A and B are shown apart, each in its own frame.
Chain A
Amino acid sequence: MSAKPLAPAIEGWHTMQVKPHLIGSQCTECGTYFFPKQNDYCRNPHCNSTNFREVELSRTGKVWSYTNACYKPPAPFVAADPFVPYAIAGVQLETEQMVILGQVIEGLTVDDLKVGMPMELVLEALHETDDDIKVTWKWQPLTQ
C-alpha cells in the first residue's frame, strides 16, 4: 500500500479513529436508530418525529449471516486487478436492534465465520485513487 492519505469512501458515514464507529442518527422521540443517518422523518409508523440526534453506533455485534463475493461486482465497485474475492457479513447490533452489512477484512473466508459469532467494526481500504486511499467499514471477529 502506498503512503497516500486515508479518506472515507463515503463521506460522513463513519469515524476515522483506530476503533471506528458508524455514524447514524436516533429519533429523539421514539429512540429508533437509523443507518445511514435519517434526519428528516422517522420511519417508525407510531412516530411523527422530525427531530434526530447524531449518534455513534455500537462497534460490536453478532453475525446474522455471511457469504462471499467470488466474482467482481460491476461499477461503481472499484476492483483490484486481479480481483480478490472477499467475505461479507451482516452483523446484528444489540442496542440498536438492527443488522448492518459490510465486507469482512481481507484474508478471512466464510470458513472463519459462523452465525452468532461476535464481530467488531474496523476500517480497511476499499480502493485507491490518484490522491488517496478510500477506506470503509469492515467486520472482523472480535478480539478480546
Chain B
Amino acid sequence: MSDEIAILGAGMHPWGKWGHNFVQYGVAAAREALADAGVPWQDIKFVSGGATIRCGYPGFVAGATFAQALGWQGAEVNTSYAACASGSQALAAARNKILSGECDVALVVGADTTPKGFLAPAGGYRPEDPDWVRFYLGITNPTYFALYARRRIDLYGDTLEDFAAVKVKNSLVGSKNPRARYRKCFTAEDVAASAMVADPLRLMDICATSDGGAALIVSSLEYARKLGKPNAPRVAAISTVTPTFASGVLEMPDIATDSAAASGVEAHAYRSMIPLKAYEEAGIGPEDISLAEVYDLSTALELDWIEDLQLAPRGESAGLLRAGDTALGGKIPVNVSGGLACFGEAVPAQALSQICELTWQLRGEAGDRQVEGAQVGITANQGLFGHGSSVIVKK
C-alpha cells in the first residue's frame, strides 16, 4: 500500500540507571540505527525527536538537540511530546513528512535520563492542575494500575498468581535480551515475597523508571528499494486516537471520569479505541498478529492490553497466559523483549523501543527471543489523561 513507510534501521542504547546525559543515549541509539540502515547521517533530511521534560531545555527541543549532537547538517527538525506515546507521535511526524514527499529518509529518536525517587509535580497550591490535586490527596501512579488490576480480580477471577506469572514469563525472555536492564529470571516466589505497594500489586508487579534511548531510520518505499532493502519491515499503521466521550475509566492523573449523564453519548475507553484504528489502517485484524509488545506498566495491565488488542475476549486473557499462549513459543507471544518488566520506563524512548523489537523480530534477527515465522507485530502504549498509541509493523 502507498501509505506505508519502510523501517531501514533500528538502534537502542541499553536500558539502565547509568546517570549520563540523555543526549548520550540518543546519539548512541541513532548511530546504531544509522549503521543498521546503511544510511549516512548526512543523508537524513528530517530528525524527529521524542521530548523529555525532566532534562531541561535540551529535552524540550529534543529533535534539534539530537541533530546538533550528531552534527548540524541542515536537516529539518521536529519534537513531539505525548508522555509515553511521544515516540509514536514523533514517528507519525516523520511518516507524514515522507508520505507527503517532502523528505525520503528520516531519523526518529527518543532518550531519557530519569531522576532518583518519585516523579513529583511542581510545588505550590495549584488545584487547577489535576496532577497536583491527585498527589495532594495521596493518589500515585500505582494507584491507577492497582484499580485496574483489582477489577480483573473482582470481575474476571484473575489471581495474584496470574499477575506473578506475567512477571515470570517476561523476565524469562528479558534475561535473553542484552538491551534489557533487569536480566534476572524471577520466580513466582520472588514476586510474592516483594513488598505490597498498591494492593493487589507488589513491587515486582510494577515497572521501574530507567535511562535509555531508541532510534529508527524510516524512509519511503522507493528509497528502501534504491538502497537495496525492498523487503525491509514496514510501518503499516500508527494510531493515536483519543477515547470518545464519556470515558468511564479513571485515567491518570484525573480524580474523576467524564460524566455520561447527557443523552446520546457513547463511551469508549482509549485502550480499546487505538487498536481498532490501527487494524483498520493496516487493513488487517487481530487474527493476523504474530506478536505484540504492550505497555506492562503493571503485570495486570499486560492482561488488559491483550484484550484491548482483541487477542482474547474480554476477561479471558489470563486463560491464554495459563495455557502458555502468550509466552515465547506460544500462539501469540506478548512482550518477548521482556517488556517494561525487564526494561523499566524511559518515557520518550519506550514506544520506539517496542518498534525496534518488532523490527528485529520481523527480520528474524532476535536470536534467543525469536518468534518463529513472525509476519506482523503490534505495539500498544499509554500516554496520560487517557491517550496512547498503537503501531503495526509488517513484513
Contacts and interface: CB of A to CB of B under 8 A. Distances in A.
Interface residues of B, dominant DSSP:
loop
| Residue among A10, A30, A31, A98 with most chain B CB within 10 A | A98
Nearest to B140: A73
A96 B259 contact: yes
Given A67-B150, A68-B198, A101 B248 contact: no
A115 B154 contact: yes
A128 to B, nearest CB: 14
B384 interface: no
B227 interface: no
Given A67-B201, A98-B258, 4 more contacts: A32-B262, A67-B146, A70-B198, A76-B121
Interface in B258-292: 258-265
Contact of B136 (A10, A47, A64, A68): A10
A101 B150 CA distance: 14
A86 B139 CA distance: 10
Given A74-B120, A95-B261, A101-B256, A36 B127 contact: yes
A102 interface: yes
Interface string A82-112: 0000101010100111111111000000100
B69 interface: no
Contacts of B259: 32-35, 96-98
B256 A36 contact: yes
Given A46-B265, A90-B250, A101-B250, A110 B199 contact: yes
A92 B162 CA distance: 27
A70 B117 CA distance: 16
A102 B137 contact: yes
Contacts of A101: 134, 137, 139, 143, 250, 255-256
A117 B316 CA distance: 24
| A-B residue pairs, 7 tightest by C-beta | A67-B146, A33-B259, A115-B154, A97-B260, A74-B118, A74-B120, A65-B147
B343 interface: no
A60 to B, nearest CB: 16
B150 A115 contact: yes
A37 to B, nearest CB: 11
A67 B246 contact: no
B373 interface: no
19 contacts: A10-B133, A10-B136, A31-B261, A33-B259, A36-B133, A36-B255, A43-B258, A64-B147, A67-B147, A69-B143, A70-B195, A73-B118, A73-B138, A73-B139, A75-B120, A76-B121, A76-B135, A77-B135, A96-B259
